Amino acid sequence: QNKFHRGRCFCADKGVDVVLLKNIEKFEIIPASPSCGKQEIIVTLKSAERKCMNPESKLTQNLIKRALGKMARQ
Amino acid sequence: QNKFHRGRCFCADKGVDVVLLKNIEKFEIIPASPSCGKQEIIVTLKSAERKCMNPESKLTQNLIKRALGKMARQ
């Protein structure tokens, strides 16, 4: 599975495109910074596992917009 | 400032609507769960301070979409 990169960035590879919204406990969106030159999206699953998601994937972006959308309809 | 709520939810109040994107080190989007019945958006600032943002505010949602948008244009 995708490995976490010790040192500068969390995600060593591009990450996955799809994770089921119902399995997600938390999204972390980390904009690029001096310590890691690329933006990262890390999801913590209800199983406590953490996964990197591909920030450039439309599927990933739609997933986050869906999560945001749910908030708007609260 | 907004207080963190010990126990079930992180955010004790609605949270702020606006934070400068350049000051943000990380976004956390936490969908509603059994332990906290409302969705929460917590930003960690470069100063290490953590702030709750109002998930229902259009400004907050646009901020996250802008952060996501930056990822798409990488």
Domains of chain A from N-terminus onward: 21-72 (2.40.50.40)
C-alpha closest to that of B55 among A66, A43, A74 = A74
C-alpha closest to that of B26 among B42, B3, B10 = B42
Q: Which residue stretches of chain B have pLDDT < 70?
A: 1-7, 70-74
Task: Using alpha carbons, list the distances in angstroms from residue B74 to A10, A32, A51, A55, B14.
Answer: 17, 10, 20, 9, 32
Q: Would you state the pLDDT for residue A53?
A: 96
Taking the CA of residue B1 and the nearest CA in chain A, the distance in Å comes to 22
Confidence check on the interface: ipTM exceeds 0.95, yes or no: no
Residue to mutate among B43, B68, B70, with most A CBs inside 10 A, is: B68
Nearest CA in chain B to A33: B25
- The encoded tokens of residue A62 equal 């739609």
- Interchain CB contact of B17 with A (< 8 Å): no
pLDDT in tens, chain A (74 residues): 455 555 689 999 989 999 998 999 999 999 988 889 899 999 999 999 999 999 988 889 888 888 887 655 55
CA atoms within 13 A on the CB side of B16: 13
Q: Would you state the pLDDT for residue A5?
A: 54
